[in-house]
Amino acid sequence: MQLNGLIFTLPKEIKLLIGAFIIVLSIGFYTGLLFVGETSSANPNGIEEQYLGNENDENATVMRFKKSDKEMLTLVHNHILSMSIIFFLVGLLVSITKLNRTFKLFLIVEPFVSVVLTFGGLYLLWKGMLWMKYIVMFSGILMTLTFSLSVLIILKQLLQKR
């Protein structure tokens, strides 16, 4: 079965369904990023403070405490499960777009690597591997860029006439 470019041949109703799904999914994804920006200042030290706390910082304007075992396991578990489903569905949609095979494979596989590095990295950071905050930051940015690019490609090809 030829998948490359299949998106162009889909019925209008399926294209509408995919478009609505991608737009609503994107609203949820980017709202999550706003939350990250609010809670961690979107920088490596803010990430560290969010999970390890800042009880020793007498000048802190907002007091934060180290996350508990339960909080960290819940966060890692929920995010890895939900993000893997999100990226599986987006990957299926990317697979039917018309793209260079290597680039398409990158867009399909990379988010799964980033999910493991980002949320596994948060857990390792919480366990004391402080340098993981840089891996978390980099993989989170790469995951967001890959998601954004995939969404733009899907939407653009949904709107294109064959």
Yes or no: say if 111 and 90 are a contact pair by the CB < 8 Å rule: yes
Could you tell me the pLDDT band of residue 41, with boundaries at 50, 70 and 90? low
Residue 55 lies in a domain: no
Residues of the domain holding 100: 9-47+64-159
Please state, rounded to an integer, the average pLDDT across all residues of the chain.
92
Cβ-based neighbours of 141, under 8 Å, separated by 6 or more: none
Task: Kindly tell me if the per-residue pLDDT of 120 is higher than 80.
Answer: yes
Number of domains in the chain: 1
pLDDT by residue (tens digit) across 75-116?
Answer: 999 999 999 999 999 999 999 999 999 999 999 999 999 999
Residue 103 lies in a domain: yes
Nearest residue to 143 (alpha-carbon basis) of 34, 30, 57, 63 = 30
Give percent of the chain with pLDDT exceeding 70: 98
Residue 2 lies in a domain: no
Residue 84 lies in a domain: yes
Task: Kindly tell me if the per-residue pLDDT of 134 is higher than 90.
Answer: yes
Average pLDDT over residues 137-157: 97
Residue 127 lies in a domain: yes
Start-end of H helices in the chain: 12-40, 44-52, 69-95, 101-126, 132-159
